[in-house]
Amino acid sequence: MVRIRTNFSTPFDSRLPWMAGSCWALAFAALGLGLLLVFNMIRLGKEVPDLQKAWALAQQTPEARPLEGSLVSTQEREALRRRLKKINGLDAGKGWAVPALLSRLERAMPPGVRLVSLQQDTILGQAQLVVESAHLEDLTRLLASLEKDQAFQEVELVKQAQAKDGEQGRIQFFLNLQEGTP
Amino acid sequence: MLLSWIDSFWPRPGDRPCLGLALGRRRLEAARVRWEGGAAQVEWNETVPLDRELFTAPPSLDLANYLAGRLAPVLAKERDRYLILQVALPDPAMRAEVFELAEAPQGAKALREFLAWRLKSGPEPGLEVTGQFMGKAQGKELLLGTAFDGRWIAVIREALRVHGLQASLIDGAFSRRFNFFHDTFAARGGGGALVALERDYWSLVVWDEALRPRLVRAKWWAPGPGEASPAEAAALEVERTIRSYVYSGKGRGVNTLFLNAPGDWMPALSEAFRRRAAGACVALDPGGAGATASRARDIRPFPTAALAVAW
């Protein structure tokens, strides 16, 4: 069964007010967007002179200029390198400064032990020292104390001897120390 | 032309109130219908006589203003209100035909060109066409095509535009009547025909067993001296047309003849048609199709075309 639905006009119904309302809403949205675009356009337009200035400045960045006069000669460069090597050699040792070493030894030495001599190679970080005491036990304690000290990588008893100056009962230890990191 | 996306904009049963305007040659009828409690109620109806004749000759330039002026008292009742406006065109001024096509034109443009070519009767300019496919019968596509002089449609649109209005529907009165009484036809079943007699024309629609319109005929009518209604002349011509339809194809039949006419014409018409239809003749009353008057004092005898187009 068929109902006739021919029409010479464009049909619309009660949804027309809603459709019209939607169209108005769209129109307002488009207007708002348009205003936003215009505002942005004006703002960008104001930024143009600053941007042009920045661009001009960027265009003027100086190029690398050639060095005036002659370059450094090979001989001069070699001499400079040698001097630099010497300077580097002055403080390139692995050892401690003498006051630092003495401070360590002072803390490690038990009472009754005295330092007779000290030789330090700051380049290699090595020290040879001679200590003496009236008692062997004091020297043994010193050795144990030095070995415990993390500041010394290696402690070596090279020689043990009687004091040469004739003092009776004085014993001397000859020690080699390998210093650790300061 | 009917397109599927346009279908969604068709007024629905709840889309009331609706103002229907039915145009004739010498009169214009208006009816306002409101939908309430699942039934349509006629709030008021009005008949406006026209002292200038419409649709029988090409329209003159001032006719839109004239028509707008005649519409003014009617439309003044609905000022500042949102309502649906639908217009029924007189059937004799319209060309309507049901085509049986082995192959249907594809696309809206092709369909429009086909209808314009088939429905054009002369070198008239601006013929407006519309159509509807109604399914298949005996392997052929049935296409209802209607055409109307575009100049007259422009006049009507302009007259409404003067009042700030646009019609959501402009169509032939026969199709509105057919839809209005559709449930009555369906309840009766089988093929049938509706003869509608308006004050200045008569119209015939014949449908098949599937309730699809198959034939549309209409003619202007002017009463002769001493003639009250076109009963005899119309009955003769309707009988002839129905017989030619029935005998022009296999399985065609008209089981019931439905009559619709102004109340004062009905007795004479019923008598004339009953004699020719061998009794299978049913007089239709708009009230029987569900229309009721909301306030009796505003209702004159129902103008079927105006009421049907406001449905």
Stated as kind and residue range, the H or E segment containing B216 is strand B213-220
Helices within chain B (DSSP H only): 4-7, 63-76, 108-119, 150-162, 173-180, 182-188, 231-247, 266-277, 304-309
Asked if A95 and A107 touch (Cβ cutoff 8 Å), the reply is no
Stated as kind and residue range, the H or E segment containing A114 is strand A113-121
pLDDT the model gives residue B296: 43
Q: Measured between alpha carbons, how far is A107 from A109 in angstroms, rounded to an integer?
A: 6
Q: Measured between alpha carbons, how far is A171 from A168 in angstroms, rounded to an integer?
A: 9
Average pLDDT, chain A: 83
> Do A9 and B170 make contact, defined as CB atoms within 8 angstroms?
yes
* Residue B128 CB partners (closer than 8 Å, separation 6+): A8, B147, B148, B149, B150, B153
pLDDT the model gives residue B168: 86
pLDDT the model gives residue A161: 85
Q: What is the mean predicted confidence (pLDDT) over A34-51?
A: 93
Domain assignment present for B10 = no
- The tens digit of pLDDT for each residue in B66-79 reads 999 999 998 888 77
Q: A131-145, B48-62, B179-193, B276-290: which has the minimum mean pLDDT? A: B276-290
Higher pLDDT, B274 or B225: B274
Question: Does B15 score more than 70 pLDDT?
Answer: no
At B49, list the tokens: 């006589």
What letter does residue B289 receive in the DSSP assignment? G
The 3-state DSSP class for residue A148 equals: helix
Question: Does A16 score more than 60 pLDDT?
Answer: yes
- The tens digit of pLDDT for each residue in A75-107 reads 888 888 888 877 766 655 667 788 888 888 888
pLDDT the model gives residue B308: 73
- The tens digit of pLDDT for each residue in B165-192 reads 889 889 999 999 998 889 889 998 889 9
Higher pLDDT, A132 or A73: A132
Question: Does B297 score more than 60 pLDDT?
Answer: no
Q: At what angle do helices B63-76 and B150-162 cross, to 10 degrees?
A: 50
pLDDT the model gives residue B146: 95
Question: Does B208 score more than 70 pLDDT?
Answer: yes
Phi, psi of B307 (to 5 degrees): -65, -45
Q: How confident is the model at residue A44 (pLDDT cuts 50, 70, 90)?
A: very high
**Contact residues, chain A, for B9 at CB < 8 Å:** 10-13, 15
Locus of tokens 């009617």: B74
Phi, psi of B165 (to 5 degrees): -115, 155
Q: How confident is the model at residue B140 (pLDDT cuts 50, 70, 90)?
A: very high
Question: Does A126 score more than 70 pLDDT?
Answer: yes
Domain assignment present for B266 = yes
Q: How confident is the model at residue B99 (pLDDT cuts 50, 70, 90)?
A: very high
Higher pLDDT, B124 or B197: B197
Domain assignment present for B218 = yes
Q: What is the mean predicted confidence (pLDDT) over B98-103?
A: 94
If we measure between CA atoms, which residue out of B62, B66, B76, B64 comes closest to residue B30? B76
Count the domains in chain B: 1
pLDDT the model gives residue A152: 86
Question: Does B14 score more than 70 pLDDT?
Answer: no
**Contact residues, chain B, for A4 at CB < 8 Å:** 132, 144, 171, 175, 178-179, 213
Domain assignment present for B71 = no
Domain assignment present for B212 = yes
Give the domain CATH number at B266: 3.30.420.40
Question: Does B305 score more than 90 pLDDT?
Answer: no
Question: Does B300 score more than 60 pLDDT?
Answer: no
Query: How many percent of chain B have pLDDT more than 70?
Result: 82
- The tens digit of pLDDT for each residue in B246-274 reads 898 888 888 899 998 887 888 888 888 88
Exposed, middle or buried by CB within 10 Å (0-12, 13-18, 19+), for A1?
Answer: exposed
* Torsion-angle region of B135 (φ positive above 0: left; ψ -120 to 50: alpha; else: beta): left
Query: Which residues make beta-bridge pairs with B195?
Result: B204, B259
The structure's pTM equals 0.64
Domain that residue B274 falls in: 182-283
Q: Is B108 on the interface with A (CB under 8 A)?
A: no
Q: Is B126 on the interface with A (CB under 8 A)?
A: no
Domain assignment present for B60 = no
Q: Measured between alpha carbons, how far is A31 from B276 in angstroms, rounded to an integer?
A: 69
Higher pLDDT, B227 or B264: B264
> Do A9 and B14 make contact, defined as CB atoms within 8 angstroms?
no
**Nearest C-alpha in B relative to A3:** B179
Q: How confident is the model at residue A181 (pLDDT cuts 50, 70, 90)?
A: low
pLDDT the model gives residue B98: 95
Q: Hey, which residues 10-69 in chain B have their CB within 8 Å of chain A?
A: 10-12, 14-15
Give per-residue burial for B253-274: e unless 16+ CB within 10 Å, then b. Answer: ebebbbbbbeeebbebbbebbb
Query: How many percent of chain B have pLDDT more than 90?
Result: 39
Q: Is A11 on the interface with B (CB under 8 A)?
A: yes
Question: Does B211 score more than 60 pLDDT?
Answer: yes
The minimum CA-CA distance between A18 and chain B, rounded to whole Å, is 12
Q: Measured between alpha carbons, how far is B168 from A118 in angstroms, rounded to an integer?
A: 118
Domain assignment present for B108 = no
**Contact residues, chain B, for A15 at CB < 8 Å:** 9
Long-range pairs of B134-138 with CB within 8 A, sequence gap ≥ 24:
B134/A2, B134/B98, B134/B212, B134/B213, B135/A2, B135/B210, B135/B212, B137/B100, B137/B208, B137/B210, B137/B212, B138/B100, B138/B250
Domain assignment present for B144 = no
